[in-house]
Amino acid sequence: MQPVKTYLANRQSNKYTVCLILLLLVINILQNRVFGIYVKGLLGNYGLPFLSWALLVAFVFWLPRVRSRIRLRQRPLLIWIALVCILITVLGFMVQGAMSGFGKSPYDHSLKGIIINLLVLGITLVGTEMARAWLMNRHFFRHPLLGLSSLTVVFTLLSYPWNKFLNISTGLAAVKFLGSDFLPTLAQNLLATYLAFLGGPLPPIIYRGGVVAIERLSPVLPMNNWAAQTLIGIVVPVLGLLLVRQIFYEENKMVSRRNGQEGYLGWILTAVVSVLVLWFAMGVFSYSPQVIITGSMHPTIKIGDVAVIHKLPKDKIRSEVRVGDIILFPMGEIKVTHRVIGITEIEGKYFYVTKGDAN
């Protein structure tokens, strides 16, 4: 009779999983196609989203309990590690600010705005992490690498409004979104998923809640330098992930030959991401960052700004470059950034007239 009981338990678990996934999808659809569009104002933008996520929190709380990886006595240690990850994030913000400067926060800092935003963001975060932890430990307890990769991608995609993807119309916009937004969010979700696997929903709630609180409550934030956002946004969560894993395995004395392969895989993934970021900064790909060192395009582009350069092969220059475009071209031993103000054809050859906005 034992196999029959196991089969029935698995069927029941699958029903719970389907219901949870459907609830997540319904909330995502409502937020993107109903709330704020057909139902506007305070109710549509804040009230109904709050109630939707509160319903999901209640549903996950009602689901059968699942066991996380660590023992109960180790929970305080993991909570402290989550707090350390917040500290690493704060240091990352400071480094990013040192690289690109600080600016005034765009968020509402009135008492009413702070309370409303923290309530809605708080219940959204709690619901997300409870769902993440339940799915991770219910279905991927014995296959953590599969769960980490799949749930990280799923919850990263669910965190974005659909307009974020629909508004990507050019390759340049796609590169900026991928580097400064998607990959850092993916890295943050990877760390949150790993914390959920080890200790359930509380550690990732503390970690992500701390990050959100810093972003929303701080009067100043790092400027939107997308190159710095890419570097810091990826490196900081990866450092947190390595710290969590190292402390966890040291505490449990689980660094052994049996786990050596998993450790190598983690370092390989970290190395691959680091190499890709380095290659991008070095200009290996068709899009690359370029620091502007002259003021010829002021005020459009200031000295010290980072511009994204799209390298064009010679056979595509004629079809791609238009009057009004800003181009970077070599002149002797320097590279000049000017705007195209005229294109002339002489005997089948095209000549481009350029001028700096400040000239």
- Tens-place pLDDT, residues 53-70: 999 999 999 998 888 877
CA distance 227 to 51: 38
Q: Which structure tokens are listed for 151?
A: 């749930």
pLDDT over 90, % of the chain: 25
- Do 240 and 86 meet the contact criterion of CB atoms below 8 Å apart? no
- Tens-place pLDDT, residues 277-304: 655 655 555 666 676 777 788 777 777 6
- Region of poorest pLDDT, from 76-80, 168-172, 261-265, 306-310: 261-265
pLDDT band for 6, please (50, 70, 90 cuts).
very low
CA distance 226 to 291: 12
Q: Which structure tokens are listed for 131?
A: 């769902």
Name which of 150, 105, 120, 116 is nearest 132 in CA terms: 150
| Alpha helices by DSSP H, the chain | 2-33, 41-42, 48-62, 75-100, 111-139, 144-158, 162-166, 171-177, 183-199, 202-217, 226-252, 260-282, 314-320
Q: Count the Cβ atoms, other than its own, within 10 Å of residue 310.
A: 15
- Tens-place pLDDT, residues 186-207: 999 999 999 999 988 999 999 9
Residue 44: DSSP 8-state:
I
- Tens-place pLDDT, residues 128-139: 999 999 999 998
State the angle between helix axes of 183-199 and 75-100 in degrees (0 to 180), rounded to the nearest 10: 170
CA distance 215 to 210: 9
207: Cβ contacts below 8 Å, ≥ 6 apart:
82, 85, 86, 191, 192, 195, 240
pLDDT over 70, % of the chain: 81
Q: Kindly tell me if the per-residue pLDDT of 116 is higher than 70.
A: yes
> In this predicted model, which residue has the larger pLDDT, 308 or 177?
177
The DSSP-derived string for 258-324 is GGHHHHHHHHHHHHHHHHHHHHHHHT-SSEEEEE----TTTTTS-TT-EEEEE---HHHHHHH--TT
Question: What pLDDT, on a 0 to 100 scale, did the predictor assign at position 134?
Answer: 94
State the angle between helix axes of 202-217 and 111-139 in degrees (0 to 180), rounded to the nearest 10: 150
Mean pLDDT of the region 245-255: 64
Mean pLDDT of the region 149-175: 86
Q: What is the pTM (predicted TM-score) of this model?
A: 0.71
pLDDT band for 8, please (50, 70, 90 cuts).
very low
86: Cβ contacts below 8 Å, ≥ 6 apart:
206, 207, 210, 211, 214
Cis peptide before 3 (omega within 30 of 0): no
Mean pLDDT of the region 309-337: 79
- Tens-place pLDDT, residues 94-106: 877 776 678 888 8
Q: Kindly tell me if the per-residue pLDDT of 176 is higher than 60.
A: yes
